[in-house]
Chains A and B, each alone.
Chain A
Amino acid sequence: MKLFLGMLLILCSVQSWAVCDFDFEKNKICGKLEWIDGPYLGEKSHFEVKMYRKGDLSESPIDAQVDFHFYAWMVMDNGHSHGGPKMTYQNVRPGVYEVRDARFFMHGMQGYWEIRADYKRYGRAMETAAVRVEFDQ
């Protein structure tokens, strides 16, 4: 029984660590991305990201001392990677950030889009994590 409970606990921890869209390895923070509407090409998309401490099974929202900066990044096949249209993000609930105006497009570009998040502490960017955006074709 103890062995079973121990295995269950380990499995849950692994699960907690596995589902981590934005993986801030150095600072042990996990960000879970949820698409509310989208993602789309050529239209605005809407998403939320919940940030919590890695290993926290309850996924309690992260404390208020930290902040995040979200932006789109185009990883180009030709090496000329660049940013995308500016996103407006809001801290709508503790540890939860919302973006209603994410804009992605291809229009001749060869590459793929990422949503990048800078983990900031006291106004300073400490680490960056990224999630590749997959579009329905």
Chain B
Amino acid sequence: MKLLGILLFLLVGCGESPFLNDEGELRSVQAVESELYLKDSEVSINTFWQEGPYVFDESKILIILQGSNGTTYREEISFKVKLWMPGMGHGSFPVTLEKIADGVFLASEVFFTMPGYWDIHFQVFDGEALKEEVKWGLEL
């Protein structure tokens, strides 16, 4: 009887592992903090906090641009990041954007200078003209 109980438990109790698909291949846990989409450029923006987010101290964000084919975005793009606090009507120190590889950028000197609601603007430019942008809002 005990043996039957144990066998029953093994049969019913063990569900499929959430980390294995049908082929038994390991799937990664979703690490993307936020996914944003630039419609005209057909670019997805994936963001990862390298440091922070902090108030007053420097935060850093790794930004990966993904094209419609699912790979990192390889086309030339004039891409900028801007901080704005809509409730206070002001921004912050200019963000430094460094291109690490095709479609991969590191945003540093990201300074949230007070607690509250901030918008991080991801902007695409055509020359000097703003072509499109998308915002990521966060409360600090």
Binding site for B on A (CB under 8 A): 42, 74, 80, 82-86, 103-109
Contacts A103-B109, A105-B94: A83 and B89 contacting too (C-beta < 8 A)?
Answer: no
Describe B's contact surface by its main secondary structure.
loop
Chain B minimum-CB-distance residue to A81: B114
> Do residues A107 and B91 form an inter-chain contact, with CB atoms below 8 A?
yes
When the two chains form their complex, are residues A84 and B91 in contact, meaning their CB atoms are under 8 A apart? no
Contact partner of A86 among B56, B89, B90, B92, CB < 8 A?
A: B56
Residues of B within 8 A of A (CB): 56-58, 88-94, 109, 111, 113-114
Instruction: List 26 A–B pairs whose Cβ atoms lie within 8 Å, in order of A's numbering.
Output: A80-B114, A82-B113, A83-B113, A83-B114, A84-B56, A84-B93, A84-B111, A84-B113, A85-B56, A85-B58, A85-B109, A85-B111, A85-B113, A86-B56, A86-B58, A86-B111, A103-B93, A103-B109, A103-B111, A105-B91, A105-B94, A106-B90, A107-B90, A107-B93, A108-B90, A109-B90
Q: Provide the bound-state CA to CA distance between A106 and B91, in Å.
A: 8
